[in-house]
């Protein structure tokens, strides 16, 4: 009887872990799908404001990568007993604050999506790859990370050619809003926190996730924006406040 009880307990644990793994891949797939929708939308807006073919092509390639990433996550979710996502992805909210002119909004979105979000995603995925031990999960995370690491390219390229009239000053002014939206709502919100019991799938706990995001935002993203002529002082102050709040927890 004890052996049977132990066997049943192990079976329940295995089913529970599989269900949690399926939810993890579903969450990751949804994030990739939303990023794809935003990048497809941004590529069209870049075309409308007269961006170069190179920038538009890189944005479209990044969008298609995100669509493919969602499929890869769905595949692993199905392997864990989950269901494949059906239907079109929901349209995510606008990242930019209201009231910006069209060129300002496009530059804001380019910085938020390509320079900030894709850079943070590449950093997090790099940490996930290092942690993951399950072969399929590690291979998929590594493939996605390689793509994400080059997605920021079109953002920095577009920013390098932008003028103050196209929104550099607006980007600097609204950096606290941008950082809060991208970090807190997309990368650090409670439902984005991964299950630390699934470390073999590369899951990262909330504290490590936050430290990676805040450190990368300061050392990589804001430093890069500063080199491109954006005043990052407001963003630096926001990161200081966020770090102070984190330290008091």
Q: pLDDT above 70 covers what percent of the chain?
A: 86
Q: Which domain holds residue 187?
A: 2-247
- Averaged pLDDT for residues 137-155: 95
The residues, any chain, with a CB within 8 Å of residue 219's CB and separated by 6 or more, are: none
Domains: count for the chain: 1
Looking at residues 205-215, what average pLDDT do you find? 88
Half-sphere exposure of 165 (CA within 13 A, CB side): 0
Q: Is the pLDDT of residue 123 over 80?
A: yes
* pLDDT, tens only, 13-60: 467 778 888 888 988 898 899 999 999 999 999 999 999 999 999 999
Numbers of helices and strands, H then E, in the chain? 11, 0
Based on the number of CB atoms within 10 Å of its own CB, is 218 exposed (0-12), middle (13-18) or buried (19 or more)? middle
Model confidence, pTM = 0.87
Pairwise pLDDT comparison (19 vs 113), residue with the higher score: 113
- Check pLDDT > 70 for residue 10: no
Q: Indicate which CATH number applies to the domain containing 37.
A: 1.20.1260.10
- pLDDT score recorded for residue 243: 87
Q: Return mean pLDDT, the chain.
A: 87
Task: Determine whether 203 is exposed, middle or buried from the number of CB atoms within 10 Å of its CB (0-12, 13-18, 19+).
Answer: buried
Per-residue pLDDT at 9 exceeds 60: no
Question: What pLDDT does 161 receive?
Answer: 87
* Segments of the chain assigned E as strands: none
Distance CA 41, CA 62 (A): 12
The whole-angstrom separation of Cα 238 and Cα 214 is 10
Better-predicted residue by pLDDT, 60 or 161: 60
Q: Quickly count: other Cβ atoms within 10 Å of residue 49's Cβ.
A: 13
Which tokens belong to 58? 């890189």
Exposure string for 52-77, b = 16+ CB within 10 A, e = fewer: eeebbebbbbbbebbbebbebbbebb
């Amino acid at each position: 009887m004890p052996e049977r009880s132990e066997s049943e307990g192990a079976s329940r644990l295995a089913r529970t872990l599989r269900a949690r793994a399926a939810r993890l891949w579903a969450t990751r797939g949804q994030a990739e799908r939303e990023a794809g929708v935003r990048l497809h939308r941004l590529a069209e807006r870049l075309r409308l404001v007269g961006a170069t073919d190179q920038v538009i092509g890189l944005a479209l390639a990044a969008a298609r990568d995100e669509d493919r990433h969602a499929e890869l996550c769905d595949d692993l979710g199905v392997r864990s007993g989950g269901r494949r996502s059906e239907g079109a992805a929901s349209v995510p909210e606008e990242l930019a604050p209201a009231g910006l002119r069209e060129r300002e909004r496009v530059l804001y979105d380019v910085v938020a999506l390509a320079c900030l979000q894709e850079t943070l995603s590449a950093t997090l995925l790099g940490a996930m790859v290092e942690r993951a031990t399950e072969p399929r999960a590690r291979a998929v995370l590594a493939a996605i990370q390689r793509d994400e690491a080059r997605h920021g390219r079109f953002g920095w390229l577009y920013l390098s050619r932008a003028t103050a009239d196209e929104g550099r000053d607006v980007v600097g002014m609204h950096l606290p809003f941008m950082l809060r939206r991208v970090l807190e709502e997309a990368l650090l919100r409670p439902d984005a926190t991964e299950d630390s019991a699934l470390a073999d799938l590369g899951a990262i706990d909330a504290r490590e996730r936050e430290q990676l995001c805040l450190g990368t935002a300061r050392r990589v993203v804001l430093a890069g924006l500063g080199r491109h002529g954006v005043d990052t002082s407001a963003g630096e102050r926001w990161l200081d406040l966020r770090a102070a709040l984190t330290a008091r927890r």
